[in-house]
Amino acid sequence: MTLRIQALSYDTNDPSAIATFWEQALGWRRTYEEPDEVVLEPPAGSPEDGVAADLLFGMVPEGKAVKNRLHLDLRPDDQAAEVARLEGLGAKRVSIGQGDEVTWVVLADPDGNEFCVLRALTPEELAEDS
């Protein structure tokens, strides 16, 4: 069987606005845009290009009502700096019951979609990945 994930889809009332947040957050590019749908892909020629799933933002009439059942976990080089940058783009810290002892920070994008900013990997963990 040959099957791969093409896109992660987000429902939104304003595809262009939420795509702008994620475009700035990730440094990705718009590859498709209509009033009711926007697609972001990794930068052309990057290691993620053609490998990472696209992000598709599609228009729906209703707003977000409950906690996401699927969310993104982002791994930065500097957690505090990335959290501050993302908050500057419009993300907000949210509690989903994670407690104070966790090593990640839970944020919500301007549409209220939760995502996590993980701690940076240690040099030892980076060496294990290579």
pLDDT of residue 42: 97
CA distance 36 to 50: 24
User: End of a domain among 18, 42, 61?
Assistant: 61
Q: Which two tokens stand for residue 37?
A: 């749908």
Averaged pLDDT, 3-15: 94
User: End of a domain among 45, 61, 77?
Assistant: 61
Q: How many residues does the chain have?
A: 130
Number of domains in the chain: 2
Checking if the pLDDT of 130 tops 70, the result is no
Provide the CATH number for the domain around residue 16: 3.30.720.120
pLDDT of residue 129: 66
Averaged pLDDT, 16-45: 97
Task: Supply the range of the domain harboring residue 113.
Answer: 64-130
**pTM of full prediction above 0.75:** yes
Are residues 102 and 116 both part of a single domain? yes
Are residues 68 and 130 both part of a single domain? yes
Q: Which of 72, 82, 55, 81 is nearest to 113 (CA)?
A: 72
Q: Which of 54, 66, 69, 61 is nearest to 14 (CA)?
A: 61
Are residues 57 and 68 both part of a single domain? no
b/e for 11-33, b at 16 or more Cβ within 10 A? bbeebbebbbbbbebbebeeeee
CA distance 52 to 59: 22
User: End of a domain among 9, 43, 61?
Assistant: 61
**Per-residue pLDDT reduced to its tens digit, 57-81:** 999 999 888 888 899 999 999 999 9
